[in-house]
Amino acid sequence: MGAGRLYAAVAAGGFRRYATYRAATLAGVFTNTVFGVVLVYTYLALWDERPHLGGYDQAQAVTYVWLGQCLYATLAIQGGGFEKDLMDRIRTGDIAVDLYRPADLQLWWLASDFGRALFQLIGRGVIPFAFGALFFPMALPTDVRSWLALLVALLLATVVSFGIRYLAALSVFWLLDGTGVNQAMMILGIFCSGMVLPLNAFPGGLGTFVQALPWAAQLQMPADVLMGKADPLHAYAFQATWAVVLLAAGRLMQSAATRRVVVQGG
């Protein structure tokens, strides 16, 4: 089997794995929809007091909310993707089996996470977004190019999300337990990605700082591309830069771990 077919099969396996959890998917759709409604009314009240906060009008703020609910599970913004499996395999020593496979460890998990992300987008993300578009005023583009631009931004956002979580998972080679790392990633993910409030609404230097972090590539950039608030090429350059940096850092960390760290359990 060629490398391309191998990783395609891994991605398909990741898709099928999450597709089996139908009850969890339905519960996730319901949860994202309810949280979306709560956030929308919170945003509407906030934008009544602060019109054009962050450069958004109310319709754009509502669009931001529903895109966030669409991407919450797709990008595993608070975790819950491959990283927990990888952490467990490092902790138990099963990672030794993975290292003996005739496949690249990083690409293997990246392919698996792509399959997971695709299912979460289709199975859990589309319905809340469609619900929002049906019942609330949203600033959605009417031209196909804007939607295609969004797909490119989502692809890059998925790679950035993977890069962040891959580094977190590899830390278990040294920490031996991923509980604290997972909790830190949950807090950073929800705050720095803009799930609570758009990053461009953060004040002063804090806003500048969080918009320069890799988490900004997950939600803020796709939202601005969708609504025409950012030049797609600029957004892609930002996302691609962080994707390359994170993947390279993951490669270096993986090399250091597999060369010098004793695998726990074997």
Q: What is the pLDDT of residues 145-158, one digit of tens each?
A: 999 999 999 999 99
CB of 211 closer than 8 Å to CB of 200: yes
Q: What is the pLDDT confidence band of residue 249, given thresholds at 50, 70 and 90?
A: very high
* Mean pLDDT within 184-196: 92
CB of 146 closer than 8 Å to CB of 230: no
Q: What is the CA radius of gyration of the chain?
A: 19
Q: What is the pLDDT confidence band of residue 201, given thresholds at 50, 70 and 90?
A: very high
* Mean pLDDT within 199-228: 95
The pLDDT value given to residue 1 = 55
**Terminal-to-terminal C-alpha distance of the chain:** 30
Give the percent of the chain with pLDDT over 90: 83
Q: What is the 3-state secondary structure (H, E, C) of the chain?
A: CCHHHHHHHHHHHHHHHHHCCHHHHHHHHHHHHHHHHHHHHHHHHHHHHCCCHHHCCHHHHHHHHHHHHHHHHHCCCCCCCHHHHHHHHHHHCCHHHHHHCCCCHHHHHHHHHHHHHHHHHHHHHHHHHHHHHHHCCCCCCCCHHHHHHHHHHHHHHHHHHHHHHHHHHHCHHHHCCCHHHHHHHHHHHHHHCCCCCCHHHCCHHHHHHHHCCHHHHCCHHHHHHHCCCCCHHHHHHHHHHHHHHHHHHHHHHHHHHHHHCCCCCC
Q: Please check the confidence at residue 77 and state whether its pLDDT lies above 90.
A: yes
Geometric angle at alpha carbon 154, from 153 and 160, rounded to 5°: 90
Rounded distance, CA 53 to CA 198, Å?
Answer: 9
The 10 Å Cβ neighbour count of residue 158 is 25
Rounded distance, CA 41 to CA 149, Å?
Answer: 28
Least confident window among 88-102, 160-174, 180-194: 88-102
* Mean pLDDT within 67-72: 96
The pLDDT value given to residue 258 = 81
Q: Please check the confidence at residue 263 and state whether its pLDDT lies above 80.
A: no
Please write the tens of the pLDDT for every residue from 30-42: 999 999 999 999 9
Q: Which tokens is 202 given?
A: 């953060």
The pLDDT value given to residue 101 = 82
Q: Which tokens is 228 given?
A: 């025409």
Q: Please check the confidence at residue 213 and state whether its pLDDT lies above 80.
A: yes
Please write the tens of the pLDDT for every residue from 214-240: 999 999 999 999 999 999 999 999 999
Least confident window among 23-27, 79-83, 138-142: 79-83
The pLDDT value given to residue 266 = 46
Q: Please check the confidence at residue 264 and state whether its pLDDT lies above 70.
A: no
Instruction: Name the average pLDDT for the chain.
Output: 92
